[in-house]
Amino acid sequence: MPAKPILNVRLAPETLRKLDAVAAATRRTRSFIANEALEAWIDREIEIIEDLRVGFEEIRSGKGIPHERVMRDIDLAVQRAVKRTGRRKTSRK
């Protein structure tokens, strides 16, 4: 089996400390943990990029919903929920 390519990465000291903690707790190497993390992140990014591509295609083909309409619908849904429950959540600070 051919050797895997090597990638050098500069890490912040705190990130390295966390990496070492995870590696020690799981009895895995830094390389294993870093590879697993990168694979998960890359897979998530690919999914996001594909979703954006599909969304832009839908907008170009006229399937999109104007932002103003979406915001109006959200505002109406919130107003109905407030009336139904009799309370409104305070905004986060």
Predicted confidence (pLDDT) per residue in 30-67, tens digit: 999 999 999 999 999 999 999 999 999 999 999 989 89
Report the length, in residues, of the chain: 93
**Residue ranges covered by each domain of the chain:** 13-85
All residues at 6 or more sequence positions from 58 whose CB lies less than 8 Å from its CB, including other chains: 64
DSSP 3-state of 15: helix
Predicted confidence (pLDDT) per residue in 66-90, tens digit: 899 999 999 999 999 999 988 766 6
> In the structure encoding, which two tokens stand for residue 84, read together?
């139904």
At 30, give phi and psi (nearest 5°): -55, -45
pTM: 0.65
